[in-house]
Amino acid sequence: MGFFGTIFGFFGFGIGISIGFVIGYFLFIYVQPTDVKDPEIQPLAEEDSETLQRMIPEIPLWIKNPDFDRVDWLNKLIEYMWPYLDKAICKTAKNIAKPIIDEQIPKYKIDSVEFEEFTLGSLPPTFQGMKVYETDEKELIMEPSIKWAGNPNVIVAVKKFGLKAIIQVMDLQAFLAPRITLKPLVPSFPCFANIYVSLMEKPHVDFGLKLVGVDLMSIPGFYKFVQEFIKDQVANMYLWPKTLEVQVIDPTKALKRPVGILNAKILKAMKLKKKDLLGASDPYVKLNLTEDKLTSKKTTVKHKNLNPEWNEEFSLVVKDPESQALELYVYDWEQVGKHDKMGMNMVPLKELLPEEPKVFTLDLLKNMDPNDAQNEKSRGQIVLELTYKPFREEDLAGFDETQPIQKAPEGTPPGGGLLVVIIHEAQDIEGKYHTNPHVRLIFRGEEKRTKVMKKNRDPRWEEEFQFLVEEPPTNDKLHVEVVSTSSRNLLRQKESLGYADISLADVVANNRINERHHLIDSKNGRIQIELQWRAS
């Protein structure tokens, strides 16, 4: 029975398995579950950032966050320029590190620390996206997301007690989220004066470290200690709001900011030539500084006088005493028609010593061409006294557009000050007949104008004007008008595009205001104007 039972049991198991497969196949094919729902399909753009991060951890920021822009063009540019950027960055890093190392060496009694090799390798960093901020200040703020898995080779030789230790840094990985600010923006290449760099969060840094062929990172506990130490040190120095500042160009020179006051006293003229038919002239003097767009200063007219005496004083704002010169023009005033030029000359400001008055007696010339034979003809002389008064060092040091200007330059009338008006830009201005805008400024009867921007609804001028006043303009207003002109439209050559009357009480109280103003009589026009007040 045991033998036959085994045989029947074997066949029974085989038959049972076969029947089970048949029944299971039938149920799988013909029986459908009732609790299964169709999957929901939607575009990636409709997913939230957390879902995207779970689905694709390495997805670029410009996909996950609409505030970030795609910068593939920048990655391509860096890829092409990387061999040259590598050398430039390494050279700059050595120059920055050398004084720091020299300062730290005596503390640890080390003989020397030298870079035997310094290269960032052949793999450039990659920008995952970039966020750009718009402000009303003269600055550009960028927040790029940078990932770098590089193959640098940095070999440092440390000597102490006659022994030499070789340390090698390699296989670098760094994930950074910096904030890069370029300010102030200036009209001189490269168009910004300083670079400010901060980190918005602790960076992720990973690298290999070898000492005489031994992998130091394989030492238990040492790897984590080094990583955290570097993160903490970098964060302590550059985590926002702490910044690394790199000066590119001198902002004072780049912006051509006032550096002093020239006091010019027009004393007299001698032996002027007759210009009128009746045997006399009506002379006056016009003076201005070169490289300056401000309105020229004028003396009074001395009627029927060939040896006039004025004894009139003028103050002119100096921006660069090494390159600027005082231009003097003597004219014969005419009641009707164009005034005749009687002669001219100029005085380079570099001939003046600070705070020392100097008297000049200049021959009047036809022009400043030394080879022109007509300059040998006698046209008379002009006598004047000049004094250059530079600003104090504390007025110029660390000029920062974001800080209010506290004091007026030396030489400002007592109780008065210097009103600075900077016309930045306008937006959404449009004329009915033409749109060639320029800005008219009227302050206490004195008018100044910017250049004309042809066919431009969003012009950007970046022009500065100064007004020296004898008392704070607390009760005054600055009239600003955007005007369009066209020589082709004879019937409507001039058209107003809007205006604004700006009270100056606020700038006197706050020293500096940078605001956008809606233009009256304009549909959507706005203009950005910066006002500065330097009180004596």
Cα separation, 258 vs 396, whole angstroms: 9
Q: How far is the first Cα of the chain from the last one, in angstroms, to the nearest whole number?
A: 126
Domains of the chain: 53-250 (no CATH), 255-391 (2.60.40.150), 402-533 (2.60.40.150)
How do 244-247 and 126-133 pair as beta strands?
unpaired
Give residue 405's pLDDT: 45
Give 52-93 pLDDT, tens digit per residue.
666 665 666 666 666 677 888 888 888 888 888 888 888 887
Write phi, then psi, for 8 (nearest 5 degrees).
Answer: -65, -35
Torsion sign over Cα 433, 434, 435, 439: negative
**Mean pLDDT of all residues belonging to the chain:** 78
**479 membership: H or E segment, kind and range:** strand 477-485
- Cβ-contact 329, 362 below 8 angstroms: no
**267 membership: H or E segment, kind and range:** strand 260-270
**What global pTM score does this model have?**
0.43
- Mean pLDDT confidence for 349-361: 89
Sequence-ordered alpha helix ranges (H) in 199-238? 222-238
| Maximum alpha-carbon separation in the chain | 160
Smallest CA-to-CA distance from 203 within 154, 146, 160 is with 146
What single letter denotes the amino acid at residue 525? G
- Cβ-contact 528, 426 below 8 angstroms: yes
Give residue 401's pLDDT: 39
- Cβ-based neighbour number of residue 335 at 10 Å: 6
Q: Among the ranges 143-152, 342-351, 362-371, which has the highest mean pLDDT value?
A: 342-351
DSSP 95: H
- Cβ-contact 439, 481 below 8 angstroms: yes
Give residue 442's pLDDT: 92
The three-state secondary structure class of 448 is strand
- Cβ-based neighbour number of residue 238 at 10 Å: 16
Residue 368's Cβ-side half-sphere holds a number of Cα atoms within 13 Å equal to 10
Give residue 171's pLDDT: 76
Cα separation, 197 vs 180, whole angstroms: 5
Q: Is 464 exposed, middle or buried (0-12, 13-18, 19+ CB in 10 A)?
A: buried
Distances (CA, A) of 419 to 47, 445, 467, 536: 54, 15, 5, 11
Cα separation, 149 vs 58, whole angstroms: 14
* Six token digits for residue 202: 């602790």
Give 273-315 pLDDT, tens digit per residue.
877 666 678 888 888 888 776 667 888 888 888 889 998 888 8
DSSP 307: S
Q: Which residues pair with 315 in a beta bridge?
A: 263
Give residue 439's pLDDT: 94
Give residue 508's pLDDT: 84
Q: Among the ranges 119-133, 295-309, 341-355, which has the highest mean pLDDT value?
A: 341-355
- Cβ-contact 373, 353 below 8 angstroms: no
Strands, DSSP E only, in 337-416? 340-348, 358-363, 381-390
Cα separation, 355 vs 35, whole angstroms: 95
Give 421-458 pLDDT, tens digit per residue.
999 889 889 888 888 999 999 998 889 999 888 888 88
